[in-house]
Amino acid sequence: MKKLLFSLILFAGLAVAQSGFSLSGTLSADAVTNLNAWATTQVQMAGAATATAAIGAGDTTITVANCTNVAAGVTVLIDAEAVSTSTCSGNTLTVAASGRGYFATAAAAHLSGVQIAVLKYASLTAVGKAVLLQAVQNIAHQMMLGNYATYKAQAATTQTNQAASDAVLVQ
């Protein structure tokens, strides 16, 4: 029964995670704001690129030293602004449509030489998928092993029973 339930939960979780669901329609405005703020703290690669020219608040291209560490379609963090990108080729990082001020941050001007970090999640949907997959993994882990307190109690009982059994054998 546990295996069947585990399989159903895993299948449902993966199916939802693979779909293109949108979190913004199901979460309160406060929850979306909090998730956006949290997402900007999730840096995958600090110093992935360096801006070689000043960046205006409305610029849709950013001149960088090189694009080696910035893949197409990632979200980057410049100072406190999250920016959704579409491409990075040569020395030009191109901002996606409506990509400035992403994750509810404010579009702002930045100085030449500013460091550009790649964020771990490219969108709020990607954050939701990661959270959902982690929840499915936690449920699966608990179904297979139970929680740690239960495991610890079972191990202690087993040790006590083993000690009592050993004592009987010694007599």
Domain membership flag for residue 102 = yes
- What string of H, E and C letters represents the secondary structure of 141-154? HHHHHCCHHHHHHH
DSSP 96: P
What is the bridge-based pairing of β-strands 115-119 and 81-89? Answer: unpaired
Domain membership flag for residue 165 = yes
Q: Is a pLDDT exceeding 60 seen at residue 131?
A: yes
Three-class SS of residue 48?
strand
pLDDT (average), residues 96-118:
93
| pLDDT tens digits for range 12-32 | 444 444 444 444 456 677 777
pLDDT (average), residues 53-66:
96
- Is residue 115 domain-shared with residue 131, that is, in the same domain? no
Domain membership flag for residue 38 = no
Q: Give 108: exposed, middle or buried? Use CB within 10 Å, 0-12, 13-18, 19+.
A: middle
Domain membership flag for residue 148 = yes
Number of domains the chain is built from:
2
* Residue span of the structural domain in which 69 resides: 43-119
Half-sphere exposure of 37 (CA within 13 A, CB side): 6
pTM of whole model > 0.85? no
Domain membership flag for residue 106 = yes
Give the largest Cα separation in the chain, rounded.
86
